[in-house]
Amino acid sequence: MFSLHGTGIGGGIVVGRAVVLESRLIDVPRYRIALEQRPAELGRLDRAIDVVRLELANLAEQLPADAPPEAQALLQIHAMMLDDPSLVEQTRLAVESHGQNAEWAFFSQVEHLAAQFEQFEDAYLRERGRDLTQVADRVLKALSGSGRRLPERPKPGDVPLVFIAHDVAPADMLHLKQAGGFALDLGGTASHTAILARSMNVPAVVGLNTGSLLVRDDDWVVLDGDAGVLMVAPDEIVLEEYRHRMLMGLLERKQLERLVHVPTATVDRVAIELHANIELPAEAEQAMESGADGIGLFRTEFMFMNRDDRPGEDEQYEAYAAAVIAMRGRPVTIRTIDIGADKPLRGDDEGHDPAAAANPALGQRAIRYSLAEPDMFLEQLRAIHRAAEHGPVRLLIPMLVHGHEVEQSLRLIAQAREQMSVRTRRAAPEVPVGGMIEVPAAALTAGMFARRLDFLSIGTNDLIQYTLAIDRTDHAVASLYDPFHPAVLQLVSQTIRAAERAGKPVSVCGEMAGDLEATRLLIGMGLRSFSMHPASLLRVKREILRCDAARLRARVSRLLGSDDPVKVQAGLKRLREN
Ligand code: PEP
Ligand code: MG
């Protein structure tokens, strides 16, 4: 038995049999083509490319109705790569002038281009290199005449199948929908594959490097999507332990499902709202299934990432409207783009990349970026207001620090509504506007934001990063990233009180909201609205149903009086225990 460690995408535990998918770009034949045979060889190349074009068009047509909308766009990107002169023309040239066979010429060109993508520091540009190799894989298979081996759907009741691969094209991943889970060598948390995996809600681990080479077809495997571990050929004792854990997980899930329709309230009858965080509109379904009161955070920047162009107003409107319609009357909080820092944008018209700054987390990120690009911001604001014609929408502005950012945003919102009314000759819907409190400066002046806006939402992920000076993406300092540092707790509590005083709703939408260790603490601070990944929602609900809000308020206020991290930790432990 051995274990491989990667990045966990979530989804729990699965014990099953490995299905190792063919790795890409292997055994490329290399031989010389005689001068008179070269036109025929070019014809063979063209036919293979046509086959792949047709294959992609068929895949696009057959996409299931519930496929994430990204899948359609990805297939288009793949089809466009087949028209890229740096790929196809250079390959033709190598056949014509150097007499390389089509596979050899094509593979060399792909390797050359892929190596260029590899050089990019920007993770999103590197990711585009993967798109290229996925398309190349299809062309090479078409040239060799071999069919693609797509994962088979497991029959219900079978041992779960865990798909292991170097990489899986997002379109092929849709075939994994009924699979027990998957483990991939490539990808990070923000890769296309990871984004789709999350929306499919199966255990998944990415970034296993060369792990797929070490697993054999039909090996027993344990995949822990939460811990990011793949155990291969485990002993019977380990298998039994994980089968037990998997069963307990399924049992817990079943028990939790009974809570879906139970109103969320503490034992002393304080009502609590539980909302869901989503990155793609398709995830709204999962939010509904978990009984969410609405979407508390729609991270719209994911729609802008990993592409060369910018989504236009209509495309954005369709995505926002899809989420609003899926939520059937429950509110959807749409956050304007939070581009920059660990979420860079590509294909910017000005060639400007905010993430390329020396210190991108402190640079032109989120609302700073939107205000610097008013045309783009207005486009997004119009799309959000158009979506509001389908149901209740709330607009959320990320990373506020200054009062003038609120004023400028409100002015642009008024301008976007005005543009819409001129266009449609009727009044644009009015949408509540809230602000994210994610920076200590904003938390310390939260009253000013609460008075100017309709609601506040605390982004603890960034608030912790900026308060403790810990880069949230840097493994070297990850152990110092402490959500329960007294400074963080004071800022969160202070923000909740400022909103209470202003009579405005306040929510927490960072990871802290879905952390069971923080539930009692936040209720004790007076928080009445949480927003988290839908998978955490029912567990948090179960904890809330056991809380006594009045008792917690008194206990938490004593705990917040201390500035000593050790005492605060001890107090938190007691709070969680009884
Ligand atoms: C946060 O910072 O807590 C937050 C919710 O925003 P994001 O994680 O998208 O930066
Ligand atoms: Mg944030």
3-state secondary structure of 527: coil
- 336: its two tokens: 């304007």
> Is the minimum distance from the CB of 338 to ligand 1 under 6 angstroms?
yes
Query: What ligand 1 atom has the least distance to the C-alpha of 398?
Result: 6
Ligand nearest to the CA of 464: 1
Site to probe by mutation for ligand 1, drawn from 509, 530, 531 as the one with most ligand atoms within 8 Å of Cβ, is 509
Q: Which residue's CA is minimally distant from atom 8 of ligand 1?
A: 461
Q: What is the DSSP string of 387-425?
A: HGGGS-EEEEE-S---HHHHHHHHHHHHHHHHHHHHHHS
> Is the minimum distance from the CB of 462 to ligand 1 under 6 angstroms?
yes
Q: Exposed, middle or buried by CB within 10 Å (0-12, 13-18, 19+), for 534?
A: buried
Ligand 1 mean position, distance from CA 71 (Å): 25
Q: Which residues, 6+ apart, have CB-to-CB distance to 57 below 8 Å?
A: 79
Ligand 2 mean position, distance from CA 461 (Å): 6
Ligand 1 mean position, distance from CA 510 (Å): 5
Site to probe by mutation for ligand 1, drawn from 339, 369, 436, 515 as the one with most ligand atoms within 8 Å of Cβ, is 436
Angle, helices 534-545 vs 516-525, to 10°: value is: 60
Instruction: Quote the CA–CA distance of 290 and 532 in Å, as a whole number.
Output: 11
Given a contact cutoff of 8 angstroms between Cβ atoms, the answer to whether 282 and 69 are in contact is yes
3-state secondary structure of 23: coil
> Is the minimum distance from the CB of 459 to ligand 1 under 6 angstroms?
yes
Instruction: Quote the CA–CA distance of 293 and 531 in Å, as a whole number.
Output: 9
Q: Which residue's CA is minimally distant from atom 1 of ligand 1?
A: 459
Instruction: Quote the CA–CA distance of 515 and 492 in Å, as a whole number.
Output: 15
Instruction: Find tokens 């982004």 and name the residue.
Output: 459
3-state secondary structure of 169: coil
Which helix H or strand E contains 253, and what residues bound it? helix 236-257
Query: What ligand 1 atom has the least distance to the C-alpha of 509?
Result: 5
> Is the minimum distance from the CB of 405 to ligand 1 under 6 angstroms?
no
Model pTM score: 0.70
> Is the minimum distance from the CB of 343 to ligand 1 under 6 angstroms?
no
Enumerate residues with CB within 5 Å of ligand 2 (an ion). 438, 459, 462
CA distances from 6 to 186, 189, 231, 420 (A): 9, 10, 11, 47
> Is the minimum distance from the CB of 460 to ligand 1 under 6 angstroms?
yes
Tens digit of pLDDT per residue, the chain (578 long)? 899 998 888 888 999 999 887 654 445 676 778 888 999 999 999 999 999 999 888 888 877 777 777 777 778 888 888 888 888 999 999 899 888 889 888 988 888 888 888 777 777 677 777 788 888 888 888 887 643 344 444 455 578 889 898 887 665 666 566 678 989 988 765 465 666 676 677 899 988 888 888 998 789 999 999 888 999 999 999 999 999 998 888 888 889 999 999 999 999 999 999 999 998 898 899 899 999 999 999 999 888 876 778 899 999 999 999 999 999 999 999 999 998 777 766 544 444 555 567 788 899 999 999 999 999 999 999 999 999 999 999 999 999 999 999 999 999 999 999 999 999 999 999 999 999 999 999 999 999 999 999 999 999 999 999 999 988 777 677 778 889 999 999 999 999 999 999 999 999 999 899 889 999 999 999 999 999 988 889 999 999 999 999 999 999 999 998 899 999 999 999 998 87
Distance of CA 460 to the CA centre of its chain: 17
DSSP strand E in 110-159: where?
A: none
10: left (phi > 0), else alpha (psi -120 to 50), else beta? left
Q: Using alpha carbons only, how large is the chain's radius of gyration in Å? A: 26
> Is the minimum distance from the CB of 510 to ligand 1 under 6 angstroms?
yes
Instruction: Quote the CA–CA distance of 351 and 330 in Å, as a whole number.
Output: 39
Ligand 2 mean position, distance from CA 512 (Å): 12
Site to probe by mutation for ligand 1, drawn from 305, 438, 465 as the one with most ligand atoms within 8 Å of Cβ, is 438
Question: Annotated catalytic, 275?
Answer: no
Ligand 2 mean position, distance from CA 510 (Å): 7
Given a contact cutoff of 8 angstroms between Cβ atoms, the answer to whether 257 and 29 are in contact is no
Instruction: Find tokens 């485990």 and name the residue.
Output: 234
| 414 HSE (CA, 13 A, CB side) | 6
CA distances from 300 to 189, 194, 243, 393 (A): 16, 16, 38, 14
**Could you count the other beta carbons within 10 Å of the beta carbon of residue 403?**
13
Q: Which own/partner pairs from 28-36 qualify as long-range (CB within 8 Å, at least 24 positions apart)?
A: 28/103, 28/104, 28/107, 28/140, 29/101, 29/103, 29/104, 29/144, 30/100, 30/101, 30/103, 30/104, 31/101, 31/104, 32/99, 32/100, 32/101, 33/95, 33/99, 33/100, 33/101, 34/99, 35/99
Which residue in the list 166, 275, 485, 509 is annotated as catalytic?
Answer: 509
Question: Annotated catalytic, 78?
Answer: no
Which residue in the list 78, 192, 390, 485 is annotated as catalytic?
Answer: 192
Site to probe by mutation for ligand 1, drawn from 280, 342, 462, 511 as the one with most ligand atoms within 8 Å of Cβ, is 462
Ligand 2 mean position, distance from CA 299 (Å): 10
Ligand 1 mean position, distance from CA 139 (Å): 40
Ligand 1 mean position, distance from CA 438 (Å): 8
Question: What's 373's DSSP letter?
Answer: S
Ligand nearest to the CA of 508: 1
Ligand 1 mean position, distance from CA 437 (Å): 10
Instruction: Find tokens 């291969």 and name the residue.
Output: 232
| 140 HSE (CA, 13 A, CB side) | 24
Query: What ligand 1 atom has the least distance to the C-alpha of 510?
Result: 3
Q: Exposed, middle or buried by CB within 10 Å (0-12, 13-18, 19+), for 573?
A: exposed
- 224: its two tokens: 């822990």
Which candidate, 567, 566, 537, 572, places its Cα nearest to that of 264?
537
Query: What ligand 1 atom has the least distance to the C-alpha of 460?
Result: 3
Query: What ligand 1 atom has the least distance to the C-alpha of 301?
Result: 9
> Is the minimum distance from the CB of 172 to ligand 1 under 6 angstroms?
no
